[in-house]
């Protein structure tokens, strides 16, 4: 982005707390939402998947193993896929101890609990449909839950972006709710950008895959709502990298350490 009128080059770069402020609290828990809030960060990113009994929960991996004590509690249930466990079972798990003793007893949140906390904190949500190919119909189900919780009301829509690595899922989200802001996760070839722009407002690539020319090429294409495609890049956890990608003109930086990114941009 060009320098702003106040001479501050990164004034409008949005900082998004990746899986919450996951550098400081267990990822994708309410504690990580609150940790972002405590740092004054208003955008949080999460990952949404579905239990065996059809409930939407917030977790990154498709198995429960890395971020809970599932292997202790249910030793006979390998390979511990989320989709093989009911919500009741998942709610028995400790999703905090792996990160640190201070977080013992933290649970895996339902999407509804998660959204409530984001709302209570007056934060905004970058919601990722994670591996939606494993969960047929999760696009419609997620939108229904968002609508029920008021997230699709006119005055709240600016607080929500839905993203996925799965282009078909994003096409479906855009078809079902053309009013919802959407992002495609990945680094499409420049020639293919117009195709992605049919259903996306953002192209959200790994920061390791981009340079200033690529960011400019993305922003030269109009997205699904007629505005230039935005770029939110991930996962940038150190100050120099944050300054570098901001200099490329990205609109947003997704980070486990939002304070580090914000401070680096403020000082740049
Ligand atoms: O929001 C971007 C980022 O979350 C994508 O990668 O694996 O952390 O979900 P991942
Ligand atoms: Ca994610």
**Residue 61 beta carbon below 6 angstroms from any ligand 1 atom:** no
Catalytic residue (choose from 11, 12, 60, 122): 60
**Residue 253 beta carbon below 6 angstroms from any ligand 1 atom:** no
Question: Can you tell me the ipTM of this complex?
Answer: 0.99
> Which residue out of 19, 185, 251 has the highest number of ligand 1 atoms within 8 Å of its CB and is therefore the one to mutate?
185
Q: Quick check: 101 pLDDT over 50?
A: yes
| Nearest of 218, 226, 177 to residue 198 by alpha carbon | 226
Instruction: Report CA(49)–ligand 1 centroid distance (Å).
Output: 14
Q: Catalytic residue at 18?
A: yes
| pLDDT for the residue 12 | 87
Q: Quick check: 11 pLDDT over 90?
A: no
Whether omega before 79 lies within 30 degrees of 0, making that bond cis, reads yes
Percent of the chain with pLDDT over 70: 96
60-82: average pLDDT: 98
93-103: average pLDDT: 98
| pLDDT for the residue 138 | 99
| Nearest of 46, 18, 47, 31 to residue 96 by alpha carbon | 31
Percent of the chain with pLDDT over 90: 94
155-183: average pLDDT: 96
Of residues 7 and 81, the one with the higher pLDDT is: 81
Q: Which ligand is nearest to the CA of 203?
A: 1
| pLDDT for the residue 9 | 55
Name the architecture of domain 14-62+110-267.
Alpha-Beta Barrel (3.20)
Catalytic residue (choose from 8, 11, 12, 18): 18
Element of type H or E holding 204: strand 202-204
Instruction: Report CA(234)–ligand 1 centroid distance (Å).
Output: 7
Q: Catalytic residue at 60?
A: yes
**Residue 27 beta carbon below 6 angstroms from any ligand 1 atom:** no
What residue owns the CA closest to ligand 1's atom 4? Answer: 18
| pLDDT for the residue 155 | 86
pLDDT digits (tens, 9 = 90+) for 124-164: 999 999 999 999 999 999 999 999 999 999 888 899 999 99
Q: Quick check: 4 pLDDT over 60?
A: no
| pLDDT for the residue 3 | 43
**What average pLDDT is seen over the chain?**
96
Q: Quick check: 48 pLDDT over 90?
A: yes
Please state the pTM of the whole predicted model.
Answer: 0.96
What residue owns the CA closest to ligand 1's atom 7? Answer: 60
**Residue 232 beta carbon below 6 angstroms from any ligand 1 atom:** no
What residue owns the CA closest to ligand 1's atom 2? Answer: 234
User: Which string of DSSP letters, residue by residue, matches 207-262?
Assistant: GGG--HHHHHHHHTSB-TTSSBPEEEEB---SHHHHHHHHHHT-SEEEES-HHHHH
pLDDT digits (tens, 9 = 90+) for 204-258: 999 999 999 999 999 999 999 999 999 999 999 999 999 999 999 999 999 999 9
Helix (H, G, I), strand (E, B) or coil at 52: coil
| Sign, CA torsion 130/134/135/136 | positive
Q: Taking the CA atoms of the chain, what radius of gyration do you get in angstroms? A: 18
């Amino acid at each position: 982005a060009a320098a702003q009128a106040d001479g501050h080059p990164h004034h409008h770069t949005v900082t998004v707390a990746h899986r919450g402020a996951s550098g400081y609290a267990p990822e994708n828990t309410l504690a990580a939402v609150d940790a972002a809030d405590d740092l004054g960060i208003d955008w949080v990113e999460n990952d949404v998947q579905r239990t065996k009994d059809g409930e939407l929960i917030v977790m990154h991996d498709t198995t429960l193993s890395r971020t809970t004590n599932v292997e202790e509690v249910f030793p006979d249930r390998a390979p511990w896929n989320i989709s093989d466990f009911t919500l009741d079972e998942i709610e028995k798990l400790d999703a905090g101890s792996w990160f640190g003793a201070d977080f013992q007893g933290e649970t895996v949140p339902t999407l509804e609990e998660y959204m409530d906390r984001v709302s209570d904190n007056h934060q905004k949500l970058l919601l990722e449909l994670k591996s939606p190919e494993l969960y047929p119909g999760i696009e419609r189900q997620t939108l229904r839950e968002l609508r029920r919780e008021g997230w699709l009301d006119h005055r709240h829509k600016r607080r929500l972006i839905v993203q996925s690595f799965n282009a078909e899922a994003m096409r479906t989200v855009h078809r079902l709710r053309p009013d919802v802001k959407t992002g495609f996760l990945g680094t499409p070839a420049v020639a293919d950008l117009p195709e992605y722009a049919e259903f996306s407002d953002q192209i959200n690539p790994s920061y390791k895959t981009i340079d200033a020319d690529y960011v400019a090429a993305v922003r030269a294409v109009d997205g699904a709502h007629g505005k230039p495609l935005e770029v939110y890049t991930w996962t940038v956890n150190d100050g120099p990298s944050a300054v570098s990608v901001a200099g490329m003109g990205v609109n947003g930086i997704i980070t486990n350490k939002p304070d580090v990114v914000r401070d680096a941009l403020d000082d740049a």
